Amino acid sequence: MADDINWELYRTFLAVLRERSLSGAARRLGITQPTVGRHVDALEEAFGQRLFTRTQTGLMATDAARALQGDAESMERMAAALRRAGTGYREGQVSGTVRVSASEVVGVEVLPPTLAALRQAWPALRIELVATNAVQDLLQREVDIAVRMAPPTQDALVARHVGNVEIGLFAHEDYLARAGIPVRADDLREHALIGYDRETPFLRAASKTWPHWRRDAFSFRADSDLVQLALVRAGAGIGGCQVPIAGRDARLRRVLPEVAFPLPTWIAMHGDLRGSQRHKVIFDALAACLQAHVRPLPQA
């Protein structure tokens, strides 16, 4: 009966869906190919319909399989959350796994020293860092704690506004030596600008403040913030950058300082986790890290 289906069958189903072959799913899961085949057969028998059809390019999901995918992925996320929760209760210790998400730039440029210090203080902690600009779903437990550049709206979340990080326009000193320093916004027309390929909420908001900051004006386009930052550091042109990050490199110079964009910064987690010691430790440490980032200490 369908109501007695083991979670392992759904796990195998997702692997076949993603790999489009029994052998690929077997490698992904670390089990044998015949076992994968038996799992798929059992799931198809339970639902009374085919889930995959064979094609020259591999196994193709049927409409029935696509209908199952979303719920199976929700089960996968909850199973991962249960594993993280189940490993985290050891008397007198801060231990277990916590999954954290942050934007690419924050995940790479801001959080690592704090995460490293947390592991030194609490060696039994396991931290999973998801560096992505996509919003991870806290309610569905895709992650436990999220750093977001927009206020969370769900009532079930515990959220803290840590401040606004300022975005400004920066260029490498070598680029400015070659191309000159813009003194007015209109001067940007004569410069190589670095920005997004696809329109994003940030680009739409920034273009209201910076009229010249639009896709057709960009000489270099990349949807990755890390790529844009690397291009600025390489002297390719003028790009947006978090002021505290640019301040670490004396070779990066701010241009048109009147052009500024405040980016609200929040940290959030599911309300059910507020009683968990390991989540509280990481939540508070990340909040302190981000508060220091958005309000950097004055230089001595």
pLDDT along the chain (300 residues), means of 10: 71 89 90 90 87 86 87 77 60 76 93 92 89 75 84 80 92 97 92 89 73 86 94 96 94 93 88 82 91 69
How many separate domains does the chain show? 3
Distance CA 240, CA 246 (A): 10
Distance CA 269, CA 145 (A): 5
Same domain, 112 and 26: no
Distance CA 101, CA 129 (A): 6
Same domain, 7 and 151: no
Distance CA 178, CA 194 (A): 16
CB 228 within 8 A of CB 252: no
Full residue range of the structural domain in which residue 11 is found: 2-85
**What is the predicted pLDDT for the residue at 93?**
61
Same domain, 200 and 153: no
> Which one of 26, 57, 85 terminates a domain?
85
Q: Quick: pLDDT tens for 101-134.
A: 999 999 999 999 999 999 888 888 889 999 988 8
**299 in any annotated domain:** no
Q: Which residues contact 99 (CB under 8 A, 6 or more apart)?
A: 80, 84, 128, 130, 142, 143, 144, 145
**What is the predicted pLDDT for the residue at 84?**
64
Same domain, 229 and 185: yes
Same domain, 145 and 201: no
**300 in any annotated domain:** no
**What is the predicted pLDDT for the residue at 65?**
87
Distance CA 27, CA 20 (A): 12
Same domain, 50 and 104: no
CATH assignment at residue 18: 1.10.10.10
Q: Which residues contact 208 (CB under 8 A, 6 or more apart)?
A: none
Cα–Cα distance list, 293 to 1, 242, 246, 296 (Å)? 54, 10, 12, 5
Quick one: tokens of 240?
């947006």
**114 in any annotated domain:** yes
Quick one: tokens of 48?
């009374």
CB 254 within 8 A of CB 82: no
Same domain, 35 and 63: yes
Query: pTM, whole model, 2 decimals?
Result: 0.67
